[in-house]
Each structure stands twice: as structure tokens, then as C-alpha cells.
Amino acid sequence: MADRSGKRAVLGIETSCDETAAAVLDLHGTILAETVISQFADHAPFGGVVPEIAARVHLRYLPSQVAHVMAQAGIGMQDLAGVAATTGPGLIGGLIVGCQFAKGLALAADIPFLSINHLEAHALTARLPSLTGGTADFPYLLLLLSGGHSQCITVRGVGRHERLGGTVDDAVGEAFDKVAKLLGLGWPGGPALERLAQSGDPNAYPLPRPMLRRPGCDFSFSGLKTAVAHLVAAGLTDQARADLAASFQHAVTDVLADRATHAMRMIRERHPQADLLVIAGGVAANTAIRSALSQAAERQGFRLLAPPGRLCSDNAVMVAWAGIERLRLGLTDGMDVAPRPRWPLSDLAGPSLAMPARDAATRAAPHSGDDPAPHSGDDPAPHGGDNPAPRSGDDPAPRSGDDPAPHSGDDAQRVGAG
């Protein structure tokens, strides 16, 4: 499909945390080319993402990644209808790299620049035609489970989201990473912990299930992590390590299924027609969690949509797609947009949030310009930028590992985007 001027694709760029990604989608949302470079090796020696290193790696790889996807898609700049880049929330250094690069391309080609909220990009992935054939109608429930975010969100429309609940301390991926580190599994630990759990007994250790059956759909994982730390400190055999990994995963799975069930009931109360639960974020790759959420969804009469792993974790396909959704509504952005390390989804909703749901689902709100004071709570609050205590020099600020700092809100101590 081409628009009236013959433009036929959108370029997406993602640099908010530790993935350097670019993708080209045609205006229907068909993926023409995509690439992701994960920076695991660059950060692993530090046990977590180091913001300064992340920004430099983005700078090193982004130009060639963009050239690569353009060539693979077989298009030139003159074919692009817009350039979309994640401009928040995330690590300020990486956001600046991606945002400025995208603006430069948009200026040079005289095409629209699209400023994308990373959380909204995750939220809208479900509407990629290749995933659902266009059946993900608003409103639906998003359960975002990443290293940086654990949130239940009602997705009511482009730019129209409502946070139902989220973590009060660690994000779920962060809890996996910290427990994996306690078990000596390196970083990032989620996939390694899942592998170890396969040879363990999930009922071996009766670990706490924080927030289980509490009203609402908030999560908490720090107490569970502490319980594991005490058991590790007492000394473990190899089999006990596997049992503990399996028991931890089982506890997290129970909590997520319970919280998701509450969230489904909450969205149903407000939107009786809602019947879709979407999961996103790196932790959504976990088989036990997927399966428990699938059963929970079925019990509530919901469909579960779990995009393939590469579209669950950080990627640029979702950024390009969010750009297409916004472009269709005429929601382009000016060159004055600044990257926002903190950018809660609620800020996208604008003053019309109080509108009746029927109207709200079809209305979009622009999101450039004014930047209200940073929030806490549903605010992913990564390092840097407008952070009053910027990290520098000798403080590599890893987001997991042996960092004793307590976490608050939706990961106030942790970097990156989900």
C-alpha cells in the first residue's frame, strides 16, 4: 500500500535500553525488514545495564542497522511516509541517540517524525495485522512483564491508556534477574533460571506469594526475592538450587495468574465487551508463565495473545507499528520533542481521559510538547535525564545483581524500558 504521494513504509527505531533495533513496515503493518542487536555481552561483566555503555553501543550500531533494514526492505528514503523512534521512557543517553538520528532522517527526507512512547509501542503490538488479523479491537488488557516494567494496563485506543495496577517494588524480570544472580546464573538471568527450573521440583519450597488474592492488581516481588536469599545463604546442593529455581518460578507464576485474573475482572467491570488479554515484555517468553496466564484467561472468558518472543521483548517492529497507528490519525510530532526518561502512559491520555469509554476508544490524544513533572508509581523512572541524582563515572548503576538499593514504584531504581 502506498499513500497518495507514493510513500509506502515507516522506519522504526528502538534505543531506549539495551537493544539497538530498527525495522521497516509497510503502511498495512507488514514487516519488510527487522533487526535487533542485544547488548548482553557489553553489560554482562557489570551484572546489569550500564547507561553510558548502552548509549555508546547504540551510537556505534544504529546507522548501520538502519542502512541494513532499508536495504533489506528494498526501499529508499523517498519511500518512507515517516520515521518513528522511541523517545521515552528509558535511558536518556540511548533515547537521545535514537531520537536525534530519527529526527535527522526525517528532516533530510522532509517527512514526518513520530515520537513513540515505548510502553504504548508494547501495548499496540497486539494490533499488528500479522498477529491477530486485525481482531485486537480496543479496549483490551495488557500485562507488561519486563525487566523494567510490571503493569496491568487498559488499552482503550491510540494514546488512550489506563493503568490498573503494577509492581510496588521490583519488576518481575528484575526479580528473575536478582534471584538468578543469587543462584549463580549470571545476567540476564530469566532464561537461565527457567532452564534450571526444568530439573527442579516446583513444590519443594513453600515460598511466599505476595499480594495473592488482595483487591486490585498490584504486584510485589521483593519479599519473594528476600525469602530466596535466606535459603541461598543457608547453603544449597545442586538439586536444591534447581528446586529453589522451580519453586520461585512457581510462586511468581501463581502471583501473576492471580493478579491477571483480578485485572481481567476490573476491565470487565468498566468495559463488559473486553475479551482480550495481551502479554508483552521479556518475561512473557517464560513457558510456565504463558501457560498459567492462558488458563487464567480461559477461566475468565478471555483470549490470550502472547506475541512471539522477538516481538515481546524490546524491538523496533512495535515502534514502527505504533508510528503507523499514529500516522493514520495524523498524530505526527515536531522537531522540538525532547526524549523523556520518565513518561508514564497516563500522560498520553490528555485531558479527555474522563470521556465515556465508547468515545475514548476511538479518540487519540497528541503527546508532544509539554512535559509535566515526573511521576512516581506508574512511572518507569530510569536513570539520567531529569533524574535529580544522575549516575556518572564510577557508578555504573547496574539494574540487577548486587545492588542493595531498595526499589520502589514501578522500578524507580532500575533502568530502561520494557
Binding pattern for the stretch 15-54 against ligand ADP, x by CB under 6 A and - elsewhere: --xx------------------------------------
Confirm or reject binding of residue 174 to Mg ion (CB under 5 A).
Answer: no
- Residue among 191 and 401 whose Cβ is closer to ligand ADP: 191
The residue (of 105 and 322) whose beta carbon lies closer to ligand ADP is 322
- According to CB under 5 A, which residues from 277 to 336 bind Mg ion? 314
Q: In the complex, what is the shortest distance from the CB of residue 312 to ligand ADP, in angstroms, rounded to a whole number?
A: 7
Q: Which residue is nearest to Mg ion (CB)?
A: 314
Sheet containing 80-88: give its strands across. Answer: 31-38, 19-26, 9-14, 80-88, 113-117
Single residue of 148, 157, 344, 382 touching ligand ADP by CB under 6 A:
148
How far is it, in rounded angstroms, from Cα 117 to Cα 163? 15
Contact (CB, 8 A) for 397 and 383: yes
* Cα–Cα distances in angstroms (integers) from residue 173 to residues 184, 201, 251, 288, 417, in the given order: 16, 21, 14, 14, 11
SS3 state of residue 14: strand
Backbone angles phi, psi at 36, to 5 degrees: -140, 130
* Cβ neighbours of residue 16 closer than 8 Å, sequence gap 6 or more: 86, 88, 89, 90, 91, 94, 95, 98, 118, 314, 416, 417
Per CB under 6 A, 341 contacts ligand ADP: no
> Which one of 12, 188, 210, 323 is in contact with ligand ADP (CB under 6 A)?
188
Q: Which of 47, 157, 190, 341 binds ligand ADP (CB under 6 A)?
A: 190
Closest distance to ligand ADP from the beta carbon of 14 (Å):
10
Minimum separation from the CB atom of position 163 to ligand ADP (A): 17
Site for Mg ion (CB under 5 A): which residue of 17, 70, 227, 324?
A: 17
Q: What is the 3-state secondary structure (H, E, C) of 47-62?
A: CCCCHHHHHHHHHHHH
Confirm or reject binding of residue 411 to Mg ion (CB under 5 A). Answer: no
Three-point CA angle 234, 236, 237, nearest 5°: 155
* Cβ-based nearer residue to ligand ADP, 106 or 311: 311
User: Which residues lie near ligand ADP (CB under 6 A)?
Assistant: 17-18, 146-148, 173-174, 176-177, 188-191, 194, 281-283, 285-286, 313-314, 416-418
